[in-house]
């Protein structure tokens, strides 16, 4: 009976889920070009940049700063936040968002080198790293013997069953040969030592034999065997055909962004598995990803080492390796190389020299300027400080999937998806007039409760209470009960206080500030207090300060829509409408269910005098959305807020929108009545199709007045107070036609 994966319910094969790729249970840098079955192609060429300075970016990025006080010490990342797991549907190459053509497997014999020879630039002494010119001899600098000549020839049989066909590449640990398993009738790859007299390389090979045979994952090349042949040892590996991502990039130039992301996203489960086994890959680059059969596979395990191994050799490639990788590569060092590889796949830049540990700016490359979330993703993935990077492969994959979703949505249409971190849009109890006039910060998505928090169950129970005072009381009790052992009670205490008036304004503000200060002191790397502090600031009208706080959240979560929506709200509150508009617009294009994004974009357009654009944005709300009828009224209300900008085409759009909403009554009567009154006052300014009606009445002054009167009286009938009823009746009397009786 097969076991089911605890993450996605997929089938466990050889200790690994065949669906999601997760396990069943839970440098002095060597010269560029180290290692790899496909190590023959030269490094990607560097090109000259545009010459624009990196400081003149098209948008501002504020890195989070921690421990910068006078006597502060630099904190170390203690990862907090929401645990996420990648869903099964994302495991196909492209995450189910894009389709990539399958690359056929290559004929293995076509890979054979006609004349196996190590290029002079790759000949270095195994001891002192001095360059040597001959293929075999003694180092002129230190006297160490070296040998770069292949020791196996076609026809040799290793271990009685592996027939050598020839050399196919030369990597950092030596020659790589194509072989054929005569017993099991399958192609294999034999990876040998760099030099039979090199003790470090020999030790690395022994380490591979000791633990790499246990590595089993569908996205990692299989290790079949480890054999001796005379004085040398060889690793016998699975043969993987297809084409490396490096060769694809070399042939085509910079790849389309979505395609490049698909390859990196596809290989991330392999790193999640390796890290869960206490292993670090060390030397990732596009050479080491093979595309075959509609999927990708990690090849060349020669540089893999145990995390924290003080005696393990370190192999890495200049331009891809993390700054700390020369002394102690760790899991986040691998994630750094993945970020660098993605940057190299989409841009031509001097990644081995001028930008060895930096990225070009959006001013230098349109691909970055057009995809801010991608740029922010790369900034975090390749941050020089390991504590500022993504802290595990699953987290990185989750955010990269969000970035890919956004990019694909802009090309092919909306790509809505549920977030594991935030709730959806929370528009509630806001009048149509308020939606047209200003943003509603309290309607921003909320953080989901972290179910791994030890107080999660109690927090969920308290959130279900209807009495706000009781909620505050019980959350305060949970804070005392759990202290620093749980974060959720403090976060939810702040959330309730921000969203509701409670006690005195001074006491409310004091509790919010003190609680958030305590959370940040307990874990400077937890971005969630910044979310609530930003929400508190924007509720108080300080949009500029809120933007800085929400940007911290965007830095940590570049694949999430909620931080961008929050930045749009903060920018609008700060009066920076043209800065708010791109955030609103991008969120609405990716997921039209975020109605507050459409409303925000419409407000920005309308306040800038672009009423046609405002109405067009409001038209993006899906017909089947629960708030569709509300947004139809917002179209009418927007025209009423800017009457001088209304023309005939806008009036026709309002006619269609408000007519749909009239069947539901309520506020629709008020909007319809006021629109009819507007037309009456400016009837000579509009041209109307002959015989066509406006909100159900003929387009002539008397019928329009009668129609307005009727709608005002309907509004009065549904008024919520006596004063409101009298107001609508007075408006009906004012607009009705003048008669003799």
Residues that are catalytic = 283
Contacts of 401 (CB under 8 A, 6+ apart): 86, 90, 95, 265, 559
CB 140 within 8 A of CB 215: no
Question: Which H or E run includes 462?
Answer: helix 456-463
Question: Which H or E run includes 667?
Answer: helix 667-681
Residue in 539, 101, 506 with CA at minimum distance from that of residue 294: 101
DSSP tag of 447: B
Token duo for residue 494 = 């702040």
47: exposed, middle or buried (C-beta count within 10 Å: 0-12, 13-18, 19+)?
exposed
d(CA 75, CA 579) in angstroms, rounded, equals 33
DSSP labels, 531-543: HHHHHHHHHTT-H
d(CA 61, CA 553) in angstroms, rounded, equals 12
Paired with 535 in beta bridges are none
Paired with 189 in beta bridges are 178, 237
Burial call 416-440: b when 16+ CB within 10 Å, e when fewer: eeebebbebbebeebebbebbeebb
Paired with 17 in beta bridges are 12
CB 722 within 8 A of CB 680: no
First to last CA, the chain: 90
Paired with 199 in beta bridges are none
Q: Where are the alpha helices (DSSP H) in 364-449?
A: 366-369, 372-381, 393-412, 432-437
Question: Which H or E run includes 174?
Answer: strand 174-181
Residue in 528, 526, 539, 494 with CA at minimum distance from that of residue 512: 494
SS3 243: strand
In the chain, count H helices and then E strands: 23, 17
d(CA 688, CA 673) in angstroms, rounded, equals 19
CB 14 within 8 A of CB 216: yes
Distances (CA, A) of 283 to 245, 298, 304: 15, 11, 8
Question: How many residues make up the chain in this entry?
Answer: 741
Question: Which H or E run includes 679?
Answer: helix 667-681
Question: Which H or E run includes 13?
Answer: strand 12-13
SS3 481: helix
Contacts of 342 (CB under 8 A, 6+ apart): 260, 261, 264, 378, 381
């Amino acid at each position: 009976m097969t076991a089911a994966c605890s993450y996605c319910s997929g089938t466990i094969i050889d200790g690994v889920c065949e669906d999601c790729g997760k396990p069943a249970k839970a440098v002095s840098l060597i010269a560029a070009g180290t290692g790899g079955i496909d190590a023959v192609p030269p490094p990607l060429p560097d090109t000259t940049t545009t010459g624009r300075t990196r400081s003149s970016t098209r948008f501002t990025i504020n890195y989070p700063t921690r421990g910068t006080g006078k006597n502060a010490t630099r904190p170390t990342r203690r990862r907090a936040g929401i645990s996420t797991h990648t869903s099964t549907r994302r495991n196909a190459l492209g995450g189910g968002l894009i389709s990539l053509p399958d690359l056929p497997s290559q004929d293995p014999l076509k890979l054979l080198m006609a004349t196996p020879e190590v290029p002079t630039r790759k000949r270095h002494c195994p001891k002192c790293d001095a360059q040597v010119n001959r293929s075999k001899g003694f180092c002129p600098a230190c006297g160490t013997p070296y040998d770069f000549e292949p020791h196996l020839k076609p026809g040799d049989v290793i271990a009685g069953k592996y027939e050598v066909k020839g050399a196919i590449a030369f990597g950092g640990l030596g020659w790589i040969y194509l072989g054929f398993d005569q017993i099991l009738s399958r192609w294999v790859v034999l990876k040998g030592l760099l030099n039979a007299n090199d003790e470090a390389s020999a030790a690395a090979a022994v380490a591979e034999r000791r633990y790499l045979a246990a590595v089993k994952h569908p996205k990692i090349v299989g290790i079949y065997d480890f054999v001796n042949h005379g004085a040398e040892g060889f690793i016998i590996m699975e043969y993987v055909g297809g084409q490396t991502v490096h060769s694809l990039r070399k042939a085509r130039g910079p790849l389309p962004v979505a395609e490049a992301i698909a390859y990196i996203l596809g290989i991330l489960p392999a790193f999640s598995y390796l890290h869960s086994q206490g292993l670090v890959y060390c030397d990732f680059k596009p050479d080491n990803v093979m595309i075959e059969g509609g999927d990708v596979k990690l090849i060349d395990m020669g540089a893999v080492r145990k995390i924290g191994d003080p005696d393990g050799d370190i192999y890495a490639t200049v331009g891809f390796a993390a700054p700390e990788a020369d002394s102690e590569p760790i899991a986040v060092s691998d994630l750094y190389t993945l970020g660098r590889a993605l940057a190299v796949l989409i841009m031509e830049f001097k990644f081995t020299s001028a930008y060895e540990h930096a990225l070009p700016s959006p001013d230098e490359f349109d691909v970055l300027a057009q995809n801010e979330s991608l740029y922010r993703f790369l900034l975090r993935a390749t941050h020089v400080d390991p504590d500022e990077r993504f802290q595990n492969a699953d987290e990185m994959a989750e955010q990269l999937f969000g970035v890919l979703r956004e990019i694909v949505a802009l090309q092919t249409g909306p790509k809505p998806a549920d977030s594991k971190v935030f709730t959806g849009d929370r528009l509630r109890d806001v009048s149509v007039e308020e939606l047209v006039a200003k943003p509603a910060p309290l309607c921003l998505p909320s953080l989901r409760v972290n179910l791994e928090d030890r107080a999660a169950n109690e927090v969920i129970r308290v959130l279900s209470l209807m009495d706000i005072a009781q909620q505050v009381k019980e959350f305060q009790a949970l804070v005392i009960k759990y202290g620093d052992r749980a974060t959720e009670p403090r976060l939810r205490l702040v959330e309730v206080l921000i969203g509701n008036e409670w006690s005195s304004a001074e006491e409310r503000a004091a509790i919010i500030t003190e609680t958030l200060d305590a959370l940040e002191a307990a874990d400077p790397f937890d971005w969630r207090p910044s979310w609530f502090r930003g929400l508190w600031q924007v509720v108080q009208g300080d949009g500029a300060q809120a933007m800085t706080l929400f940007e911290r959240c965007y830095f940590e979560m570049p694949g999430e829509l909620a931080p961008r929506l929050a930045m749009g709200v903060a920018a609008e509150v700060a009066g920076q409408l043209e800065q708010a508009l791109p955030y609103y617009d991008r969120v609405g294009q990716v997921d039209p269910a975020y109605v507050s994004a459409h409303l925000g974009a419409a407000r920005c357009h309308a306040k800038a005098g672009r009423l046609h654009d405002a109405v067009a944005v409001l038209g993006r709300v899906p017909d089947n959305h629960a708030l569709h009828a509300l947004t139809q009224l917002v179209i009418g209300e927007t025209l009423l807020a800017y009457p001088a900008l209304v023309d005939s085409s806008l009036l026709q759009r309002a006619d269609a929108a408000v007519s749909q909403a009239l069947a539901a009554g309520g506020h629709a009567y008020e909007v319809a009545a006021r629109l009819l009154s507007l037309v009456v006052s400016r009837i000579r300014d509009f041209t109307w199709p002959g015989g066509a009606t406006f909100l159900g009445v003929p387009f002539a002054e008397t019928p329009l007045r009668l129609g307005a009167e009727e709608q005002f009286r309907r509004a009065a009938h549904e008024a919520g107070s006596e004063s409101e009823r009298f107001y609508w009746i007075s408006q009906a009397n004012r607009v009705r036609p003048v008669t003799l009786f």
